[in-house]
Amino acid sequence: MLRFLTAGESHGPGLVAILEGLPAGISITEAIIREDLARRQAGYGRGGRMKIETDYAVIQSGVRHGRTMGSPIALLIENRDFSTGNGPDGKPWTHTMSKEAVEDEVTPIHRLRPGHADTPGISKYAAEDARDILERSSARESTARVAVGALCRAFLAEFGIEVHSHVTNIGGVEASTTDGREPIDWAAVEESPVRCADPVASKAMTEAIDAAREDGDSVGGIIEVIATGMPIGLGSHIQWDTKLSTKLIAAVGSLNAVKGVEFGTGFAQASLRGSKVHDVIKPTEEWERGADGSWARPWPRRSNNAGGLEGGMTTGEPLVVRAIVKPIATLRSPLPTVDTATGELTEAHYERSDVTFVPTCGVIGEAMVLITLAEAMLEKFGGDHVDETKRNHAAYLATVGPRFGA
Ligand SMILES: Cc1cc2nc3c(=O)[nH]c(=O)nc-3n(C[C@H](O)[C@H](O)[C@H](O)COP(=O)(O)O)c2cc1C
């Protein structure tokens, strides 16, 4: 079983993640984690903090001489802001976030921010200061998930599974979506300030971000995560909670600010006839064989509107998961709200905030897909050492072609 936990507050000393269940024998370095953490920090429309923090995950356990040992992998990511920066009232974060009681009082946040965890959070946890809630509900936590996702990426690469993402909409500016089978220039995506391969849309998206910034406002959008190299049959149709679709919706939907998750042509299918939606299977004469003569990919389709999932299982076509991301809730022109101390109308608390984080969401969405796929691969193929997992994977793939006349 693969499982992970994260801990840490946005302005505390750092973030911690523990991933348990990765087999032994996977090549891991801090440098490969850093690559994904750097991708998470980029993106047009993001503000000051991204320039302050240079996220780096230090491996504390589970890796020896560059390889996993099968034991839990613990990661520690320092919040550099904590030791060097000043928080509210010009006081250092070490004071605002001190774990010991402080004499010199920290000004509590009473002006609740609509669109955040503040209001239900203070009610449920009986918090006097909304900072007790916002420090953990902040998407800073997703840094730890991206680090865990990088570990899962290294595992999945052993099986030829790759996970990428791009932005298909920011503030209503649309770039084309894909069925995961047309080649996408991923290098161009990484170079685009909004992580969009379409240069025309990319430019229009940056303009939409600039316009929102000028108005003290924010914009949301849509990200698309694509996984290729999928074996057929991950997940199961047997129970609601064994379906890979269930797990992916939960994993991607758990991302801060995500308000909808769809697969393939998703919500658009509501307006189409069945004949225009379902993915016809090609006859074997059109299948391709691998170098060793076996079927490179059994049961290929003429289209991939399903986004690589049928009955809660992978079809072998690329997995295409899209997530709708709401606009940032903390606005430079703050929304009206209520002060918890006086009950009076006021303006929502403003603390350094971005205009959009949609490009970053793609990278975090990748992490959640990577973790979910790694779990599904281990559920299907098991293995304490990655070579065992690979043997099981290869043996399974040899059985999944046609059994005509069997
Ligand atoms: C990468 C990322 C960065 C974010 N940055 C901000 C931000 O700067 N300001 C803000 O108000 N919300 C930001 N958010 C959104 C909040 O974390 C989140 O929307 C809010 O806490 C409410 O969560 P919910 O919409 O999931 O209920 C960010 C989200 C992500 C994924």
Orientation angle between helical segments 30-41 and 142-157, nearest 10 degrees? 130
Report which DSSP code applies to 266: G
More confident site: 50 or 337: 337
Determine the atom of ligand 1 nearest the C-alpha atom of 115: 22
More confident site: 104 or 76: 76
**Residue 391: both structure tokens together:** 């043997």
164 to 96, 101, 221, 231, 374: CA distances (angstroms): 38, 45, 17, 17, 15
Q: What is the per-residue pLDDT for 150?
A: 98
Distance, in Å, from the CA atom of 248 to the CA atom of 261, rounded to the nearest integer, reads 9
More confident site: 349 or 253: 253
Q: What is the per-residue pLDDT for 354?
A: 85
Q: Which band of pLDDT confidence, cut at 50, 70 and 90, is reported for residue 89?
A: confident
Determine the atom of ligand 1 nearest the C-alpha atom of 134: 21
93 Cβ inside 6 Å of ligand 1 = no
> pLDDT (tens digit, 9 = 90+) per residue, 126-179?
999 999 999 999 999 999 999 999 999 999 999 999 999 999 999 999 998 888
Q: How far is the CA of 371 from the centre of ligand 1 (A)?
A: 21
| pLDDT higher than 70, residue 405 | no
> pLDDT (tens digit, 9 = 90+) per residue, 118-128?
999 999 999 99
Mean pLDDT over 22-42 rounds to 96
Domain boundaries, given as residue ranges, for the chain: 3-397
Q: How many helices (H) and strands (E) does the chain have?
A: 12, 15
Lowest mean pLDDT among 32-46, 182-196, 215-229, 270-284: 32-46
Q: Mutation test of ligand 1: which of 55, 335, 357, 366 has the most ligand atoms closer than 8 Å to its C-beta?
A: 357
Q: DSSP readout, 84-104?
A: H-B-GGG-BHHHHT-SS--SS
213 to 46, 219, 333, 354, 355: CA distances (angstroms): 11, 9, 10, 9, 6
Q: What is the per-residue pLDDT for 53?
A: 58
Distance, in Å, from the CA atom of 141 to the CA atom of 7, rounded to the nearest integer, reads 8
The sign one gets for the Cα dihedral 26, 28, 32, 34 is: positive
pLDDT above 70 covers what percent of the chain?
98
Q: How far is the CA of 346 from the centre of ligand 1 (A)?
A: 21
Distance, in Å, from the CA atom of 202 to the CA atom of 334, rounded to the nearest integer, reads 28
192 Cβ inside 6 Å of ligand 1 = no
40 Cβ inside 6 Å of ligand 1 = no
Q: Which band of pLDDT confidence, cut at 50, 70 and 90, is reported for residue 50?
A: low
Determine the atom of ligand 1 nearest the C-alpha atom of 113: 11
389 Cβ inside 6 Å of ligand 1 = no
255 Cβ inside 6 Å of ligand 1 = yes
More confident site: 313 or 329: 313
Q: Which band of pLDDT confidence, cut at 50, 70 and 90, is reported for residue 232?
A: very high
| pLDDT higher than 60, residue 276 | yes
Q: What is the per-residue pLDDT for 289?
A: 85
Q: What is the per-residue pLDDT for 103?
A: 85
Determine the atom of ligand 1 nearest the C-alpha atom of 360: 1
Q: What is the per-residue pLDDT for 87?
A: 85
**Residue 198: both structure tokens together:** 């379409």
Q: What is the per-residue pLDDT for 48?
A: 53
| pLDDT higher than 80, residue 51 | no
> pLDDT (tens digit, 9 = 90+) per residue, 342-379?
999 999 888 777 899 999 999 999 999 999 999 999 99
Mean pLDDT over 288-317 rounds to 92
| Whole-prediction pTM | 0.96
10 Cβ inside 6 Å of ligand 1 = no
Q: Mutation test of ligand 1: which of 124, 328, 361 has the most ligand atoms closer than 8 Å to its C-beta?
A: 328
Q: Which band of pLDDT confidence, cut at 50, 70 and 90, is reported for residue 234?
A: very high
Superfamily covering domain 3-397: Chorismate synthase AroC (3.60.150.10)
Query: 346 forms bridges with which residues in the sheet?
Result: 337
Q: What is the per-residue pLDDT for 404?
A: 75
Mean pLDDT over 197-210 rounds to 95
